[in-house]
Amino acid sequence: MSEDFFQGYKGAALEMLKKFNVRVWGQAEVDTTRGMFKGTVLPRAENDDDQHIVLKVITGYNIGVDITTVLSMIETGYKKANYKIPEKEFPVTPGLPKVKLIGTGGTIASRLDYRTGAVIPAFSPGELYGAVPELADICNLETEKLFAVFSENMGPDQYKKLAVAIGQEIEKGIDGIIIGHGTDTLHYTAAALTFMVQNPPIPIILVGSQRSSDRPSSDAALNLMHAATAAGHGDIAEVMVCMFGPTSDEYGFLHRGTRVRKMHSSYRSTFRTIGDIPVATVTRNGVVPQKAIYNHRRKDTNVKITPVFEEKVGMLYYYTNMQPDMIDAMVDNGYKGIVIIGTGLGHVNKPIYPAIERAVKKGVAIYMTVQTLWGYVHMFVYDTGRDLMAKGIIPAENMLPEVAYIKLGWALGQTNDLEKVKEIMLTPINDEITSREPYNGYLIYQGGVREIEDFIKKVHK
Amino acid sequence: MKDHFDRQLNYEESKQNIGYVPLKQATMDDWKRIGFMSGLEVHQQLKTKEKLFCHCPAGIFQKKDSYDAELIRHMRPTLSELGEYDGTALMEFKTRKNIVYRIKNETACTYDVDDTPPFKLNREALDYALEIALLSKLNIVGEVHITRKQYLDGSIPTGFQRTAILGVEGELPMKHKKIRLIQLSIEEDSCREISDIGHFRTYSTDRLGMPLIETVTYPDMETPYEVKEVCDYIRFLNRSTGKVRTGIGAGRQDVNVSCIGGTRIEIKGVAHTRWIPKLTHNEAFRQWALLHIREILNERMPKSAVWKMNAQKIDLNNFRFSNLPMTEANKNTFSYHAINLPGFRKILSHFTQPGKMFADEISERLKVIACIEKPNMTHSEEFEPLISEDDFSKMRTLLNASDDDAQIIIWGPEADMKTALETVEERCLWAFKGVPNETRKSFEDGTTIFERVLPGADRMYPDTDSVPIPLLDEYITDLRTKLPTEVIARYHQLRAWNIPEDTDTYIFKKNLFPIIEKIVTKYQIAPKFIGTFIGHTLKFVEGHYKKSPYFNYEMIVGLFRFLKEQSIEVQIAKEMLIVIYEHPKMDFESVLATLKFKRIPKSEILATIPFMKEKFQKIRISSKPEVETQWIMGELRKMSTGNIHPAELKNTIEKTNN
């Protein structure tokens, strides 16, 4: 069982440990040409080199010892660490709403993974209560770990399973649902659930965190409290994403699942509603709707679950000099639907026209969205656009590219009749297409300008 | 009603009982008696262009109210790598502070406010830090692992400091003994605190992220003065590389102190080494006093496990309380609690530090943990009672107090009262156990106040955002060739040169040894003269004249090269220095011209001596020959400075017969 004793070590470093009979979690004294080092041998991350042994020294710091400097090594003791979030039973308070937290992975709660040196998710009501005891003041929480995958590994199978699980919970009369999710593809899942779970009587809140919960300044706890408040007490019965409003610990936004997008690789306030305003803000004191119209919470259980998805659907991000073979390749590989993310108002270059014609002839559904993210596809403005429509590309209005992709997969999952698909695509279920873009739906201010600087000095972004 | 004891007298008696002596009167026996023990953590900023984990410029500071934006964060305790919650972490969480960060775009980026992961560690900083680690004779690690050290006070927006050990087990050769080093780490500096009022603590982010090293010693120091000596040595060693920052806040130290039976108390952020002796002395005695309190309490109440205080919310209308120091507004909104502390009579006014008593320990914790600004309490053993005896006796009845008890009244916002009451009880329970683990904030007068609960090793966590950095032998060997000579060797060299010891601090503080060495070896000028020229003259000039921003110490080397080349007697350098210091762009000839210096042959000057002697005979202010010599030297000063060595002139005057 060498892997148990020498966790993560390989090659020369592994040989060195074996030679001197020193195990991972063993207390070791290592004599080297650079002097003596004492500490507990820690596991090594798989991708790190085989030239060093990691020690935790008495002061709690970790150091690496270069094996080429090692003269001798002895193990003087052994103590394996037990990394565990303290589990406490989640208390039930009469009168509080019953909320179900469905886990999918992600960093809402996480712990260290020695294999990769990164963090891995940890999750149970007890663990969560241990980490965020405030949750017990908001709701009576139940949790279920549906799967534990990183955000980038979420896909159609998971969307469908989630939709079914949500349907079952609604059937059982839950007051609200929270879905813990990694943030990278949170908006894909939000769109998928909006389509697969229609007319829900309760809030369905997707939540994640941008800073893992192993960090004191993590946004995880506050996001979770906001999500629990929105799910348990909020009146908005829609699929929504709940994440930080500003980067400050102040309030969260509830974004409609079809209009939300991750807009910064690392900011806490990364999720933004595109082309509209967020549905609501949320604090621990409650939900404050920002939009006048939304679906209200109901007492019934009349939800429509449609857990289908055609996997042979893809997206093509158009770039200058794109060659027709990009489209041909998808068609030849049996793709049934393609969402093109075009330039400007929804354009691609002429050389790929024949490929588009060929695709349409083969019965592939092609929809056009825009790289600008904000604004509508307008294919009547220029000849290019008219040509493309003539060749069978359907403009997807102001649907976000990722949302169009999800919706096309979901539509093709229901029917192969392209007319029906078109009807499904262009009939908005929850604002994935809006009939108008409000003036305050596009706000990207640029710094440096005095009035903006005055603004951000006063208002937290 | 029991006797109304004299609180001031009790205070003085308790001070005598523990055998407190002020630092100046203390002897080795006193420190031995209480088992004084101390160690250091010396922080030093490195002189790099950029911060440690991002590309913001290092060393640019803003005024407190100059910022472009603010943001708010809260800190939550998390688990350490070994799966434990840290004690401080939980306390900090109790305080529910809103942390406000002020950002200036020029000096802070999204990394600083924890919205971007770290960039690669600054190699310039690593080079500098390793140089110092080598000078400190530490065992250099094979691979640098960035670790997160939790700080929940908000001083770092991530809630942890990225830090890494570069070397362990080093040694400092002091004059009389060797001091062992535990480790040296490289780390990012924290924010500067702007204010901390109630539930809001505000920080500036300009200093945040600047490269810093921390040298940690073993608790090898046995007297308060030795702590200062070692601290100075470490700072001089750091400065000897010429790669560290100087100025306010560039070097700071935490001093760990304990006495026998006490505990390691960390006095944080001591700005000046000259404060160290008094601070460490008083801290050791504070612990000694707390141990004495423990003894008294355990004797009075052997079953300390069942000790409980008794608190009652009180209605101000039932009391007069006219003297309580609070505003009218607070009077109406605050909540008031009277607390009975069974068996604490004469404990509240027990001595702890000069000018402080045990009750202060409670009040300081109320401020930090419950976020209630001072004044936040009063008690039955104040030197000048704020509450009438009448009110107190009413309160005693209300609380069912006995004669052996003490009472306090606390006040503050209702929402903070739960934590406040817990805080009072917790501190009182600690009194039965001895000295609570804490970090303390220092003051110039040598006293300290409670700052935080002392964190343990449990707050360390590997940084999952960065990869280990290997340190190859070739790299270390190369760095080793560039090291300056050791401070202790320099110290011995100064003595061998007969340079007086009183110049040491200035020379090492300003890292001027290399300048002296250069002048001595290149221009064969008497080392003692150069030593005092730097250690006395330059120091004086620096303290009394306005320095031009263009002045640098290398100019002094140039000055002596000039004098040597021009065969001008070096005494004149003292006068030239003032001019150069203020006008460094002036060439040396012009400096001489400003001083109205004329080149006069030595023989010509010496030739005037007989004439001067005659002149002195005429005025004859004294018959003593040394007065005559002095008078002639004075008369010839203008002419002789730069042309003849004063000793030679003096010698000739003395030898010239009248």
Inter-chain residue contact B115 with A212, CB threshold 8 Å:
no
Q: Which residue has the tokens 């994935």?
A: A432
pLDDT of residue B653: 87
Do B267 and B446 form a contact (C-beta atoms < 8 A)? no
Q: How many CA atoms lie within 13 A of A160 on its CB side?
A: 11
Choosing among B85, B141, B155, B256, which should be mutated to test the A contact, i.e. which has the most A CBs within 10 A? B141
Establish whether A306 is a catalytic residue: no
The pLDDT confidence band at residue A390, using thresholds 50, 70 and 90, is: confident
Q: What are phi and psi of A390, to 5 degrees?
A: -60, -30
- The residue among B497, B523, B132 whose CA lies nearest residue B513 is B497
To the nearest whole Å, the CA of B520 is away from the closest chain A CA by 36
Give me chain A's average pLDDT, please: 91
* Mean pLDDT, residues B83-111: 77
Angle at A313 between CA A312 and CA A317, to 5 degrees: 140
A211-225, A355-369, B259-273: least confidently modelled range: A211-225
Inter-chain residue contact B461 with A49, CB threshold 8 Å:
no
Distance CA A40, CA A30 (A): 10
Residue of A nearest to B473 (CA): A69
Residue B88, pLDDT above cutoff 80: no
Residue A249, pLDDT above cutoff 50: yes
Of B143, B147, B159, the CB nearest to A61: B147
Residue A151, pLDDT above cutoff 80: no
Q: Tens of pLDDT along B456-481?
A: 656 778 888 889 999 999 999 999 99
Residue A36: list chain B partners with CB under 8 A: 139, 169
Residues of chain A with CATH 2.30.30.520: 2-78
What is the distance of C-alpha B142 from the center of its chain?
32
CB atoms < 10 A from the CB of B579, how many? 17
Do A114 and A133 form a contact (C-beta atoms < 8 A)? no
Residue B628, pLDDT above cutoff 90: no
Where does A135-238 show beta strands of DSSP type E? 140-145, 176-180, 197-198, 204-207
Which of A48, A50, A113, A184 is an active site residue? A184
CB atoms < 10 A from the CB of A202, how many? 27
Residue A131: list chain B partners with CB under 8 A: 78
| Per-residue tokens: B8 | 């001031």
Inter-chain residue contact A37 with B85, CB threshold 8 Å:
no
* CB within 8 Å of B600: residues ≥ 6 apart: B639, B643
Q: Tens of pLDDT along A211-247?
A: 887 788 889 889 999 999 999 999 999 999 999 999 9
- The residue among A298, A300, A211, A197 whose CA lies nearest residue A240 is A197
Alpha helix segments (H runs only) across A335-417: 353-361, 383-390, 401-414
pLDDT of residue A117: 46
Inter-chain residue contact A49 with B470, CB threshold 8 Å:
yes
pLDDT of residue B323: 64
Of A56, A64, A248, the CB nearest to B142: A64
Distance CA A185, CA A154 (A): 7
Residues of chain A with CATH 3.40.50.1170: 98-305
A11: left (phi over 0), alpha (psi -120 to 50) or beta: left
Residue of B nearest to A270 (CA): B115
Residue B244 DSSP label:
B
- C-alpha distances in angstroms, A290 versus A293, A294, A375, A461, B405? 9, 10, 21, 17, 58
Distance CA B357, CA A459 (A): 45
CATH code for the structural domain at B7-18+303-434? 3.30.1360.30
Is A409 exposed, middle or buried, given 0-12, 13-18 or 19+ CB atoms closer than 10 A? buried
Of A59, A66, A266, the CB nearest to B142: A66
Distance CA B358, CA B531 (A): 50
CB atoms < 10 A from the CB of B271, how many? 13
Inter-chain residue contact A64 with B141, CB threshold 8 Å:
yes
Which of A143, A175, A185, A262 is an active site residue? A262
pLDDT of residue B83: 53
- Per the DSSP assignment, residues forming a β-bridge with A261 are A272
Which amino acid is located at B9 in the chain?
L
Is B502 exposed, middle or buried, given 0-12, 13-18 or 19+ CB atoms closer than 10 A? exposed
Do A408 and A314 form a contact (C-beta atoms < 8 A)? no
pLDDT of residue B328: 60
Establish whether A183 is a catalytic residue: yes
Percentage above 70 pLDDT, chain A: 92
Within chain B, what is the greatest distance between any pair of CA atoms?
A: 100
- DSSP conformation letters of B128-176: HHHHHHHHTTPEEPSEE--EEEE-TTSSSTTSEEEEEEEEEEEEEE-SS
Residue B54: list chain A partners with CB under 8 A: none
- DSSP conformation letters of A52-120: EEEEE-TTS-EEEEEGGGEEEEEEEEE------PPP-PPPP-TTSPEEEEEE-SSSSSEEE-TTTSSEE
Residue A90, pLDDT above cutoff 60: yes
Is B558 exposed, middle or buried, given 0-12, 13-18 or 19+ CB atoms closer than 10 A? middle
Percentage above 90 pLDDT, chain B: 72
* CB within 8 Å of B477: residues ≥ 6 apart: none
Q: Which residue has the tokens 């806040």?
A: B249
Domain spans of chain B, in order of start = 7-18+303-434, 37-258, 490-655
Distance CA B165, CA B163 (A): 7
- C-alpha distances in angstroms, B204 versus A211, B163, B230, B381? 22, 20, 31, 40
pLDDT of residue A443: 92
Would you say domain A98-305 falls under CATH 2.120.10.30? no
Inter-chain residue contact B71 with A246, CB threshold 8 Å:
yes
Q: Which residue has the tokens 């079809």?
A: A258
Of A56, A67, A216, the CB nearest to B160: A216
* Mean pLDDT, residues B274-300: 96
Q: Tens of pLDDT along B32-71?
A: 999 999 999 999 999 999 999 999 999 999 898 899 999 9
- The residue among A80, A85, A175, A170 whose CA lies nearest residue A121 is A85
Residue A116, pLDDT above cutoff 50: no
Establish whether A107 is a catalytic residue: yes
pLDDT of residue B93: 65
Would you say domain A313-426 falls under CATH 3.40.50.40? yes
Q: Which residue has the tokens 């354009």?
A: A347
Establish whether A247 is a catalytic residue: no
Distance CA A296, CA B570 (A): 92
CB atoms < 10 A from the CB of B611, how many? 10
Do B179 and B172 form a contact (C-beta atoms < 8 A)? yes
pLDDT of residue B39: 97
Give me chain B's average pLDDT, please: 91
Of B67, B75, B117, the CB nearest to A216: B75
The pLDDT confidence band at residue B657, using thresholds 50, 70 and 90, is: low
Fold of A2-78: SH3 type barrels. (2.30.30)
Residue A106, pLDDT above cutoff 80: no
Residue A213: list chain B partners with CB under 8 A: 78
pLDDT of residue A65: 96
